[in-house]
Amino acid sequence: MKRITSTLDRRSFLKATTGAVAAVSAPSLIPRHVLASEDSPGANETITIGYIGCGRQQGAHRRLPSHTKVVGTADCNIKRAEDWAKGFGCDAYQDYREMLDRDDLDAVFIATPDHWHALHTIHACMAGKDVYCEKAISLTIAEGQLMINAVRKYKRIFQAGSQQRSDTRSVTGCEAVRDGAIGAIDKVLMKNLESPWICELPEQPCPKEINWDMWLGQTEVRPYHQDIYLPRVNPGWLSFKPYSGGEMTGWGAHSFDMVQYALGADDSGPVEAWIEGEYEELVFTEPKSRSWGYSVCSKPPVHMKYANGAEVYFGEGGNSFGGIFTGEKGKIEVNRNRFASNPPEIASKLLEGKKLQTGISPHHVDFLDSIKTREDPSANIDVAVRATDCCHVGNIARWLGRKVVYDPKTRTFPGDAEATALCAREQRKPYEIPDVGSSS
């Protein structure tokens, strides 16, 4: 691979680790969702919400159904938290854990940089809160497992921001592939996506309202720069190690969520990944257009293979929110708000008479309903982690510049020390991600 240059202790969490919030049992004649408890708000009760991260992506979650109430906003940029709090008439926090201490908080929406998702989710679970978390869910394969452990141990509801799971067209298209509408799948075309770049931007004065050390979290200490702090600028944290997996995990988490669903692989994943050619890793020493990085770090394309023989490849003509599936009897395209087929009557017949739900709102409803029923939502923790794992496998193949063999059951690279070393990352104190152990 070539390189191209251009105090956090809290009493409440000690209490939270003593055990999961116990689910309240009930007589079988009474539906559980009508019972109010610590674990399950009553069917007609208000669900109280807190926002962790008050930036651009959280904006998609500002409008929630009427049976919700926002009681807190948290952001390491206290001004942003306060500005949001004014709009809701609620409390603002710079330290999200103070908000998690609230007894009147049911659930949180997490829309922070990717390197914070695991810690925010695990702390929320430990505090007995349900979680809606934006994708990419994790920054590494190892963190995904820690998140699964926490959600299952503390019996929390978790929904990933993969809203196509609640989109009629996407769901119908994926289920058509699964049901054999075009026969056995040979190939799946996805949009070519880039891996993250190295950041060596110079120091800028940090605005006083930002707790920069907290923003950095588990990552190594480095000076503030606005083109790190903001998500998609020149180029922004979404393009940089160690804050993101690049657009491979950014857009890729949406695409692989649909590919996994359509291939019936929600509990599995690819078994091989490779590239054809040499990967060049960029180093940003000054702000520069993202297009420069895109043109380099999306090459060479990644190829993957599933155990059933289906091959996934990144290339021209692929879409950003799904895939184009080629089978024995035709093709199906699944994309955001789109299900198309060749022959076209496959899609037209399956969509006939269906209510075409689109957008984020049905996904919110699915999450809020699950809080009451205590049943997994459509984009639950296991589904979300598996889809994101595919993205991590793609990045690891690119970084190593060779084929990697992956075991999706154990989520490991058996006998491959180099690939295994890329499944986790260093943890800076005092922001380490805890392992709460399994639920068994």
**What CATH number is given to the structural domain containing 71?**
3.40.50.720
For residue 437, the model assigns a pLDDT of 87
Residue 337 falls inside a structural domain: yes
For residue 358, the model assigns a pLDDT of 73
185-191 and 323-327 strand pairing: antiparallel
Residue 395 falls inside a structural domain: yes
Is there a single domain that holds both residue 35 and residue 135?
Answer: yes
Task: Identify the band that residue 415 occupies on the pLDDT scale cut at 50, 70 and 90.
Answer: very high
Is there a single domain that holds both residue 215 and residue 344?
Answer: yes
Counting residues of the chain whose pLDDT is more than 90, the rounded percentage is 79
- What is the arithmetic mean of pLDDT over 330-353? 97
161-210 pLDDT, tens per residue?
A: 999 999 999 999 999 999 999 999 999 999 999 999 999 999 999 999 99
Is there a single domain that holds both residue 241 and residue 134?
Answer: no
For residue 5, the model assigns a pLDDT of 46
In whole angstroms, what is the distance from residue 203 CA to residue 227 CA?
11
207-257 pLDDT, tens per residue?
A: 999 999 999 999 999 999 999 999 999 999 999 999 999 999 999 999 999
In whole angstroms, what is the distance from residue 247 CA to residue 253 CA?
9
Residue finishing a domain among 116, 143, 163: 163
Q: Locate tokens 């707790």: which residue?
A: 211
Residue 363 falls inside a structural domain: no
Is there a single domain that holds both residue 181 and residue 140?
Answer: no
- Per DSSP, the three-state class of 170 is helix
- Per DSSP, the three-state class of 208 is coil
Is there a single domain that holds both residue 126 and residue 195?
Answer: no
Is there a single domain that holds both residue 223 and residue 147?
Answer: no
**pLDDT greater than 70 at residue 359:** no
Is there a single domain that holds both residue 141 and residue 179?
Answer: no
- Domain of 346, in residue numbers: 166-357+381-421
Task: Identify the band that residue 357 occupies on the pLDDT scale cut at 50, 70 and 90.
Answer: confident
For residue 26, the model assigns a pLDDT of 25
Number of domains in the chain: 2
**pLDDT greater than 50 at residue 2:** yes
Is there a single domain that holds both residue 52 and residue 200?
Answer: no
Is there a single domain that holds both residue 319 and residue 392?
Answer: yes
**pLDDT greater than 50 at residue 397:** yes
> Which residues are paired to 239 by β-bridges?
none
Buried/exposed code over 112-128 (b: 16+ C-beta within 10 A; e: otherwise)? bbbbbbbbbbbbbbbbb
Is there a single domain that holds both residue 315 and residue 349?
Answer: yes
Is there a single domain that holds both residue 126 and residue 200?
Answer: no
Mean per-residue pLDDT of the chain: 90
